[in-house]
Amino acid sequence: MSDFNIHILGCGSALPTKRRAPSAQVVDSRGKLYMIDCGENTQARLREARLGFSRLTHVFISHLHGDHCFGLPGLLSTLGLLGRVGDLVVHGPRGIEEFLEPFFRLFFKGMTYEVRIETVDPRERALVMEDHSTRVWSLPLKHRVPCCGYLFEEKPGEAHIIREMIDFYHVPVKRIAEIKRGADFVTPEGVVVPNARLTRPADPPRRYAYCSDTAYAPAIIPWIEGVDLLYHEATFAEEDAARARETFHSTAREAAMIARDAGVKRLLIGHYSARYEDVTRLLDEARTIFPETYLSDEGMVEKL
């Protein structure tokens, strides 16, 4: 089964600390890297994670707060210094081009590659990217500024052929492709061998949902139903719930309620407020609601 790994490059919140880096993740799937958010110094975290810059094809920005996008200019210019040639696509809410435009005018003259900016409407759930292996959807979130999460969805792969049966029925090589796609096989004698006898079902497509930053937003539940992994912000502990309301963030409990009600397989919490030296209290509060909760941490890799 091919890789589908989530690299946590940063899971802190607005105020950086010695321990925590601002928001940034990378989805590593079928040889491509998709970045989600890009707080300051993400390029250094990417290097520490030993992820080749050249495999990066798309960057998805959730919203225009500094801790989610101030690392973009440095990353883009480093890609230029490394002589990148392939396009890079940056997806984000309206304002993203207004944010990046001055950099192209003042700093990125004569770059070796093109940055394509694609604006996302954070108010709707829509398909924002599709390539040969993956679809990415926007998820409307509730924050102080327009903000969306992203749902990563593998496209269904092909069925696995059963070598022994292929040999038994002397299936010619030129038929394999269509059989992988579901066709039956008809022998020279006209006997129909049903596809089910020749193949094992494809691996189930994997799905990953990123939801940060957001207040408690149950409206997203139908869209993330049953995902293999949900990353949901849990900026505050229960005792700071009032602060969570004011700032349009979630408590660990609220993140867990979303995970439970969406029936996700696992919940990863992050975007911790700098006020918590020790975040296990956030984990404990979440687990009372949803036991399959885990803490994100810089440098962590989640394999789906």
Residues tagged active-site: 67
Q: Which of 245, 279, 257, 246 is nearest to 211 (CA)?
A: 257
**Alpha carbon distance 76, 70 (integer Å):** 11
Cβ count near 50 (within 10 Å): 7
- Is 99 a binding residue for a second copy by CB under 8 A? The answer is yes
Task: Kindly state the number of chain residues that form the binding site for a second copy, as judged by CB under 8 A.
Answer: 29
Q: Which of 235, 227, 301, 293 is nearest to 264 (CA)?
A: 227
Cβ count near 261 (within 10 Å): 15
- Is 44 a binding residue for a second copy by CB under 8 A? The answer is yes
Supply the minimum distance, in Å, between the C-beta of residue 46 and a second copy.
11
Supply the minimum distance, in Å, between the C-beta of residue 39 and a second copy.
8
- Is 197 a binding residue for a second copy by CB under 8 A? The answer is no
- Is 48 a binding residue for a second copy by CB under 8 A? The answer is yes
> Structure tokens of 19?
């321990």
Three-state DSSP class for residue 301: strand
Contact of 96 with 119, CB cutoff 8 Å: yes
**Alpha carbon distance 89, 92 (integer Å):** 10
Indicate which single residue of 47, 55, 275, 281 sits in contact with a second copy (rule: CB under 8 A): 47
Q: Which residue, 81 or 192, is less far from a second copy as judged by CB?
A: 81
Supply the minimum distance, in Å, between the C-beta of residue 106 and a second copy.
6
Indicate which single residue of 5, 32, 57, 95 sits in contact with a second copy (rule: CB under 8 A): 95
Binding segment for a second copy among 2-10, 77-85, 170-178, 250-258 (CB under 8 A)? Answer: 77-85
**Alpha carbon distance 138, 94 (integer Å):** 13
Binding segment for a second copy among 95-103, 175-183, 188-196, 230-238 (CB under 8 A)? Answer: 95-103
- Is 106 a binding residue for a second copy by CB under 8 A? The answer is yes
Indicate if the alpha-carbon torsion angle 253, 125, 67, 270 is positive or negative. Answer: positive
- Is 78 a binding residue for a second copy by CB under 8 A? The answer is yes
Residues 54-73 interacting with a second copy (rule: CB under 8 A):
64-66, 70-71, 73
Backbone angles phi, psi at 170, to 5 degrees: 50, 45
Query: Which residues are at the interface with a second copy (CB under 8 A)?
Result: 14-16, 18, 40-41, 43-44, 47-48, 64-66, 70-71, 73-74, 77-78, 81-82, 95, 98-99, 101-102, 105-107
